[in-house]
């Protein structure tokens, strides 16, 4: 019988496990602290655990981290790790250091089944959901590895964004315990305001997350109307914009922030005109308190899409800002190691044939050709 991976449990789950062994809750709390606060994997290191509990744990339980396949460090200090999750699959995580925070971007699936046109992960297809242990192991490894390198016991990672490979809300049952471990004061003690779930718009799960574990919410919008969003984010055909905005508005009742972040990938000639910015204003103004995060597109060959000029991105942002909508332009980080937004791909044993299917699909959105002298924006 395989040993239980204790990374699969939030504190309540670990308490239930320990109770099955005849142990009290405080023992589970001690064990949880050793695993997540101190990064221990050897039960013999856990000096304040009763010897009887340490003996019980041997052979039936383990703390099993992910194996690191590779690490790449960007010129700007961004670090990308490739983790082996078995079966020929590997997922990527990215650490982004800034002067006032350290942010870790975490994957939730090996691949992604949503198939957004501008995301390289979706073009790899989908293999499987990650377990809770595989999700939290990315934070466990990054936090304790960086502490060791810097020779400190202080917290390194202050922010977590579920924006890596996969659609987090399509792996809901594994996601929520991982979020609870991140938030738990006996674990990583992160603020709800500093843990963000990014979704392409899985409306029923947004409604559940509101009740189960409300954290900051980011929604991949990318279009001001249903016909265009149907093409860019196929999930929109199931959960159109009006339903999505209603769910977001309801979510704000429990959210730790008083706004929803709308992610908007800027695609040349597709969704970046002033008229489309005005459509966005009409869509959200007076309806929902929100912030727009404009994301420069990171081209990849299969997409057939191009990056909007920075001057166009800035002009688009000014239209939104002039209407009183908070708008930021995401600074591209780690693009020299393919760690920027939309670039995470890892290694996926595609069970959905998505990669071939997307290649065969005709591009039905109107894509502008590069302007003279701008061939550098064309996917290579």
The residue extents of the domains of the chain are 4-62, 67-377
Pair 79, 341: CB distance under 8 Å: no
Maximum alpha-carbon separation in the chain: 74
Q: At what angle do helices 132-150 and 25-36 cross, to 10 degrees?
A: 60
* Fold of the domain built from segment(s) 67-377: TIM Barrel (3.20.20)
pLDDT tens string, the chain, 380 residues long: the values are 689 999 999 999 999 999 999 999 999 999 999 999 999 999 999 999 999 999 999 989 999 999 999 999 999 999 999 999 999 999 999 999 999 999 999 999 999 999 888 888 777 889 999 999 999 999 999 999 999 999 999 999 999 999 999 999 999 999 999 999 999 999 999 999 999 999 999 999 999 999 999 999 999 999 999 999 999 999 999 999 999 999 999 999 999 999 999 999 999 999 999 999 999 999 999 999 999 999 999 887 777 889 999 999 999 999 999 999 999 998 776 566 565 554 455 567 766 665 555 554 434 444 444 444 443 444 33
CA–CA separation, 69 vs 106, rounded Å?
Answer: 16
pTM over 0.85: yes
CA–CA separation, 334 vs 78, rounded Å?
Answer: 5
Return the sign of the alpha-carbon dihedral for residues 229, 234, 235, 239. positive
The answer to whether 341 is a known catalytic residue is yes
- How, if at all, do strands 67-73 and 101-105 pair? unpaired
Write the DSSP assignment of 10-46 as a string of letters: -HHHHHHHHHHTT--HHHHHHHHHHHHTS----GGG-
**DSSP 8-state assignment for residue 334:** S
Q: What number of residues does the chain have?
A: 380
Beta-carbon contacts of 155 under 8 Å, excluding residues fewer than 6 positions away, are 143, 188, 189
Tokens of 59: 């052979």
Q: What is the 3-state secondary structure (H, E, C) of 119-133?
A: CHHHHCCEEEECCHH
Tokens of 356: 């071939």
Per annotation, catalytic residue among 18, 116, 265, 341: 341
Pair 272, 297: CB distance under 8 Å: no
Tokens of 200: 């392409």
Per annotation, catalytic residue among 18, 23, 92, 119: 92
* Fold of the domain built from segment(s) 4-62: DNA polymerase; domain 1 (1.10.150)
């Amino acid at each position: 019988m395989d040993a239980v991976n204790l990374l699969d449990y939030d504190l309540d789950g670990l308490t239930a496990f320990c109770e099955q062994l005849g142990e009290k809750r405080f023992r589970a709390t001690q064990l949880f602290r050793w695993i997540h606060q101190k990064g221990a994997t050897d039960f013999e290191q856990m000096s304040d655990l009763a010897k009887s509990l340490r003996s019980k744990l041997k052979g039936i339980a383990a703390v099993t981290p992910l194996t690191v396949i590779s690490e790449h460090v960007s010129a700007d200090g961004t670090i990308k790790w490739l983790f082996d999750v078995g079966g020929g699959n590997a997922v990527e995580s990215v650490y982004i250091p800034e002067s006032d925070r350290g942010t870790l971007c975490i994957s939730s699936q090996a691949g992604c089944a949503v198939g957004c046109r501008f995301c390289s992960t979706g073009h790899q297809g989908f293999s499987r959901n990650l377990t809770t242990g595989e999700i939290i192991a990315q934070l466990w490894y990054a936090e304790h590895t960086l502490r060791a390198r810097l020779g400190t016991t202080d917290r390194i990672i202050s922010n977590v964004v579920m924006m890596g490979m996969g659609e987090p809300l399509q792996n809901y049952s594994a996601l929520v315990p991982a979020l609870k471990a991140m938030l738990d004061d006996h674990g990583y003690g992160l603020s709800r305001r500093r843990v963000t779930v990014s979704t392409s718009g899985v409306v029923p799960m947004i409604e559940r997350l509101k009740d189960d574990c409300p954290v900051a919410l980011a929604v991949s919008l990318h279009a001001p109307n249903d016909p265009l969003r149907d093409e860019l984010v196929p999930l929109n055909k199931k959960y159109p914009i009006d339903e999505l905005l209603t769910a977001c508005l309801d979510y704000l009742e429990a959210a730790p922030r008083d706004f929803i972040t709308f992610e908007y990938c800027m695609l040349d000639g597709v969704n970046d005109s002033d008229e489309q910015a005005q459509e966005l204003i009409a869509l959200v103004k007076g309806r929902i308190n929100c912030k727009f995060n404009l994301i420069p597109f990171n081209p990849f060959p299969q997409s057939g899409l191009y990056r909007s000029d920075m001057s166009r991105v800035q002009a688009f942002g000014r239209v939104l800002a002039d209407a009183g909508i908070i708008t930021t332009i995401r600074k591209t980080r780690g693009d020299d190691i393919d760690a920027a937004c939309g670039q995470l791909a890892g290694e996926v044993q595609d069970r959905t044939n998505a990669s071939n299917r997307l290649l065969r699909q005709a591009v039905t959105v109107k894509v502008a050709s590069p302007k003279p002298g701008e061939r550098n924006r064309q996917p290579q």
